[in-house]
């Protein structure tokens, strides 16, 4: 099985990196690419990643380090990952404007992100116990997309989500910044699509494209918060989420993704797609363990109390009144 996995993954990387149009765009030589990815060292490292089930950004950097460092000097792996994360963040939110003006770094970042994207797609389908494999961020099937009322908008979302390397940026953030938002997004999207498919199966009208797109994109705005905004991420990330969807003219999915607050919306005025996102977002939260926080899908009852304890500007009497109301 490991040999089959290795062959599949290696062929995907090789085909992607040797794509003529991509190589021409990056201004690099195909022979140079071949020299590195066909090397024994590259093959050994790739095999080790699969055996150890280590699909992290750090392992990916170690995999392609020889390919990258002759283009851009890597003084430390930690610093290099920070620079690549900053580059990917700037693709998503140009206003963060923290990127170095270095064309060689940009080429290295593009090579890394291309390989990392393939590694991440492989991880999603790998039989692993980690959250990203257990609840993989797999988008709609082709037949589901073609059955949508507005397939063009969902396709546009997918195109820009992948073009901006949103998944890779979020995963880099986990390793560089320590935020496990990607696990939350994976869990929310998984629940959203699962519920949406069940409703569609019994004949309830629902737009799976909006459910999937909003589930995957509802927390994009958290990465747009910078400087003083970092102190107000829970409040401001809705704004930056809205900005990302507006930039690419994805209004219907964007409207649902932006409005996923559970406290200030009138339920009777919300679409079914919005209610599914709010419900799913409500249930996927961090759980404190002996080894730190990890993402968890709570039961509805447990998630209610988790959220209740986080409510701002709510005194104990009001919290008690809400509990009594729910129980009755």
| Residues 63-107: tens digit of each pLDDT | 999 999 989 999 899 999 999 999 999 999 888 777 677 889 999
Of the chain, the end-to-end C-alpha distance in Å amounts to 54
Q: What is the pLDDT of residues 1-54, one digit of tens each?
A: 466 789 999 999 999 999 999 999 988 888 999 999 999 999 999 999 999 999
pLDDT above 90 (res 234): no
Residues 6+ apart with CB under 8 A from 60: 49, 112, 115, 116, 119
pLDDT of residue 210: 97
What is the arithmetic mean of pLDDT over 209-234? 86
Residues 6+ apart with CB under 8 A from 313: none
pLDDT of residue 291: 80
Residues 6+ apart with CB under 8 A from 69: none
Q: Which two tokens stand for residue 63?
A: 């995999």
Domains of the chain by residue range? 1-130, 151-297
Q: What is the pLDDT of residues 124-141, one digit of tens each?
A: 988 777 899 999 999 999
**Angle, helices 103-124/77-92, rounded to nearest 10 degrees:** 90
Block residue for tokens 């610093």: 79
| CATH fold group of domain 151-297 | Hypothetical protein af1432 (1.10.3210)
Q: What mean pLDDT is reported for the chain?
A: 87
pLDDT above 50 (res 118): yes
pLDDT above 50 (res 325): no
């Amino acid at each position: 099985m490991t040999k089959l996995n290795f062959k599949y993954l290696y062929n995907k990387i090789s085909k992607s990196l040797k794509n003529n149009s991509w190589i021409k765009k990056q201004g690099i030589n195909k022979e140079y690419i071949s020299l590195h990815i066909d090397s024994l060292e590259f093959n050994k490292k790739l095999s080790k990643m699969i055996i150890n089930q280590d699909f992290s950004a750090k392992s990916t950097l170690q995999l392609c380090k020889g390919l990258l460092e002759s283009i851009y000097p890597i003084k430390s792996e930690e610093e290099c990952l920070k620079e690549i994360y900053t580059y990917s963040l700037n693709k998503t939110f140009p206003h963060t404007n923290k990127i170095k003006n270095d064309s060689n770094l940009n080429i290295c970042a593009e090579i890394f992100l291309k390989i990392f994207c393939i590694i991440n797609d492989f991880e999603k389908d790998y039989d692993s116990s980690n959250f990203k494999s257990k609840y993989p961020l797999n988008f709609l099937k082709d037949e589901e997309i073609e059955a949508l009322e507005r397939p063009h908008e969902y396709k546009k979302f997918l195109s820009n989500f992948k073009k901006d390397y949103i998944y890779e940026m979020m995963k880099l953030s986990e390793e560089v910044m320590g935020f496990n938002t990607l696990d939350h997004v994976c869990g929310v999207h998984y629940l959203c699509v699962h519920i949406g498919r069940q409703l569609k199966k019994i004949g309830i009208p629902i737009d799976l494209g909006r459910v999937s797109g909003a589930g995957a994109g509802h927390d994009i705005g958290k990465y747009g918060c910078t400087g003083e905004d970092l102190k107000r991420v829970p409040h401001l990330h809705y704004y930056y989420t809205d900005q990302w969807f507006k930039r690419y003219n994805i209004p219907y999915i964007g409207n649902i993704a932006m409005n996923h607050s559970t406290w200030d919306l009138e339920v009777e005025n919300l679409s079914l797609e919005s209610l599914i996102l709010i419900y799913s977002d409500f249930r996927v939260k961090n759980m404190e363990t002996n080894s730190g926080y990890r993402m968890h899908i709570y039961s509805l009852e447990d998630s209610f109390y988790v959220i209740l304890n986080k409510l701002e500007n709510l005194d104990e009497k009001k919290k008690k009144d809400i509990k009594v109301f729910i129980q009755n």
